[in-house]
Structure 1
Amino acid sequence: MVSHGHRRRRRTAAARPLSALAAAALAVASVAFTPAPAAAHPFGDPQTVAITLDEQRPEVVRVRWRAGGPDDLTLLGVSLGVLPQDRVMLDGAVDYRHTDPATIASSERFTAYLLRQIAVSAGAQPCAGAVEPPMALDLKGAIVDYTCPGPVSTVTVAVRMLTDLNPAYRTLATGPGGQRAVYESGKASHDWTLAGAPAADGTGLGRSAAIQIAAVLGGVLVAAAGAVVVARRTRGRRLRMRKTAA
């Protein structure tokens, strides 16, 4: 006769593979859905660019650039000679000060840098850029209006911001109708549709993301269930072999 205590021990032992596998499945799922750390460039959040067409002036393309973080602005200011060299330490640390954005924004060197690192062309014709005086460079970024020879529907925009300081810098760009692109070293140019771009409400993207999440979760659960079945069958064979041997 099998004692109640022995039955409890058998049930506990049988439950161990299920508990362990369930924990493993949860761990896999948590890894799968943990957002990856920002890796746009070595110094923190990525810089961004927003590209739009002026509603009142169909020949004007507006580009708004924002630095990823205040340290990036300080580093840029030092490289332009607007800020002193000792603001960047020997170990690479940056001594940011709240006056840095205003100092950089008021510099003609920064204006020239923007126009040199961001370029817009319509066909083979370059568009002339004009920088709006930045009011809050660290919060609102800098705006450059590019006037093309005539009304535009598609343009080529090149962005090389900060890649001259470090090739690991990247820029996340957005355009009309939900268009997106990533600028990086070796990939500084992208074509944008500004007039007639289809509207995007993000529904398709959300549905796609939900399907992908469900698929991954389903795969994790199926794998865990399969492992439990295999574990139980293996344990059953071992018990039968022990009884036969006895």
Structure 2
Amino acid sequence: MNYRILAGVLLASGAALAATIGTVTPAAAHPFGPPSLARAAVDGTRVDISWQPAEDDWVALGQSLGAFEDPTTGPVATQLTGEQKLQGSSAVRDYLHERITVSQDGRPCRGELKPLDGLLAQGARLTFDCPAPVSTLDITLTALTDLNQAYRTVLRAESATPAESLYTATDGTHQVDFTQSGGGLPPAAGLAVGVTAAGGLGALLVVLSRRRTRSAA
């Protein structure tokens, strides 16, 4: 069975979810497939993180947290899609808050989970407010590893060192340095170089102009 296709059907259709949710378990997801992708960006004291697992992993996570009703124990709301049930689950929101965290110098940054609209397309998006302007952070990503230790997440951080980090069940926190710009000169140095270059070019133009004037005379 192609669980990726089945997961897409479950999340898009309430009726399909009601009929077949019992056939998909955490083991039926793909912990041994490609890792989930997360992205991080900073702006002053703010940190934005998005986490986007595959659709079948969302199904496995929703099942484990009780976001979907069990058709063997009671009625199932078929007017809602699987994605809508994930969006409305307080257990899913609490889980994301617990498993995706940021700290600065040992102090946690206050996190806020954005509305889960467009969950499948955009993933879970969180914003963290840190006590001071961001330089070095400890970022923790342990989502899904409680379901299966084979799950991994790759974090891609903008203008940071390292640019990519691999999160696993045994290595769920990485320190990321956002003071590195990946090479080049600091803004002030770049400005100084630009001014020097402009001044040198101006002097060269004056010399050439004088030479032409003398030649004409």
The bucket for the TM-score relative to the shorter chain is 0.5 to 0.7
**Are the structure 2 counterparts of residues 108 and 199 from structure 1 closer, same or farther at C-alpha, using a change threshold of 3 Å?**
farther
> Percentage identity across aligned positions?
32
Q: Are 1:72 and 2:61 counterparts?
A: no
Give TM-score scaled by structure 2 length: 0.62
Deviation at residue 42 of structure 1 after TM alignment:
3.0
Give 1:121's aligned residue. Answer: 103
The structure 1 residue matched to 2:85, chosen from 88, 92, 103, is 103
Whole-angstrom distance in 2 between the partners of 1:43 and 1:138 = 20
**Are the structure 2 counterparts of residues 198 and 146 from structure 1 closer, same or farther at C-alpha, using a change threshold of 3 Å?**
same
Deviation at residue 103 of structure 1 after TM alignment:
1.4
Whole-angstrom distance in 1 between the partners of 2:31 and 2:140 = 22
Whole-angstrom distance in 1 between the partners of 2:152 and 2:71 = 26
What one-letter code is carried by the residue in structure 1 that aligns with 2:64? S
Q: Are 1:47 and 2:36 counterparts?
A: yes
Whole-angstrom distance in 1 between the partners of 2:63 and 2:143 = 15
Q: Are 1:175 and 2:160 counterparts?
A: no
1:15-48 deviation per Cα after TM superposition (whole angstroms, max 9, x unaligned): xxxxxxxxxxxxxxxxxxxxxxxxxx53633211
Whole-angstrom distance in 2 between the partners of 1:139 and 1:163 = 22
- Superposed CA RMSD in Å reads 2.1
Deviation at residue 194 of structure 1 after TM alignment:
2.0
Whole-angstrom distance in 1 between the partners of 2:148 and 2:70 = 17
Whether the 8 Å contact between 1:49 and 1:64 is mirrored in structure 2 is yes
Whole-angstrom distance in 2 between the partners of 1:155 and 1:86 = 44
Question: Which segments of 5 or more consecutive residues in structure 1 lack a partner in the other structure?
Answer: 1-40, 88-97, 201-246
Give the structure with the larger helix fraction: 1
Deviation at residue 102 of structure 1 after TM alignment:
2.3
Whole-angstrom distance in 1 between the partners of 2:37 and 2:135 = 22
What one-letter code is carried by the residue in structure 2 that aligns with 1:111? R
Give TM-score scaled by structure 1 length: 0.55
Give 1:185's aligned residue. Answer: 169
> Which structure has the bigger radius of gyration?
1
Whole-angstrom distance in 1 between the partners of 2:183 and 2:112 = 28
Deviation at residue 199 of structure 1 after TM alignment:
5.3
Whole-angstrom distance in 1 between the partners of 2:124 and 2:70 = 23
What one-letter code is carried by the residue in structure 2 that aligns with 1:77? G
Give 1:63's aligned residue. Answer: 49
